[in-house]
Amino acid sequence: MAENVISSRMKDLSPIIEECVENGMDVNFTVKGYSMYPLLVDLRDSVVLTKADKHNLKKFDIPLYIRPDGSYVLHRIIKVNKNSYDITGDAQKVIEEGVACESVIAVVKAFDRNGHKFDTNNRLYRLYVSVWYLLMPIRPYICRFFIKIRKLMNR
């Protein structure tokens, strides 16, 4: 059976996503980019977004937020401040400090990889996140290693 697919830029989808989550609906979309590798892989994995209490997100939550330059980002909170968050991608070691709470559009509730759904409240997932956080200084090297292995396996 043929699948209907609509492709659009995040800038165009954002108002729809915001309206849906504000009305209590969850939104599922496929991720683009490798900044959250190895957890989320470009055009393979999808996330389920839900309404966020913008001022009460927790360490390790993954918000969808908009930067002042207008770009949309899905990265992990590594520090909660009074009116902002410090955030970084899982494949990065650079921290984006002071992301305003008001910049948050939604938060990841679950993700789907190869037909398997994983809830972000799952204990094994939380363990993965805690260990991955501790590896922050060396994780870009770990990611490069895994990417090379993936390329070799796909030959």
Task: Answer whether 123's CB lies under 8 Å from 116's CB.
Answer: no
- pTM of the entire predicted model: 0.88
Whether residue 4 is contained in a domain is answered as no
Tokens found for residue 68: 């002042």
Whether residue 102 is contained in a domain is answered as yes
In the chain, what percentage of residues exceed pLDDT 90? 65
Which has more confidence, 152 or 81?
81
CATH of the domain at 32: 2.10.109.10
What pLDDT score does 4 carry? 64
Whether residue 2 is contained in a domain is answered as no
Q: What is the mean pLDDT of the chain?
A: 90
Task: Answer whether 124's CB lies under 8 Å from 131's CB.
Answer: no
Whether residue 133 is contained in a domain is answered as yes
Whether residue 123 is contained in a domain is answered as yes
pLDDT in tens, 89-133: 998 889 999 999 999 999 999 999 988 999 999 999 999 999 999
> What is the extent of the structural domain holding 56?
10-153
User: What is the average pLDDT across 79-96?
Assistant: 94
Whether residue 83 is contained in a domain is answered as yes
Whether residue 126 is contained in a domain is answered as yes
Whether residue 108 is contained in a domain is answered as yes
Q: How many domains does the chain have?
A: 1
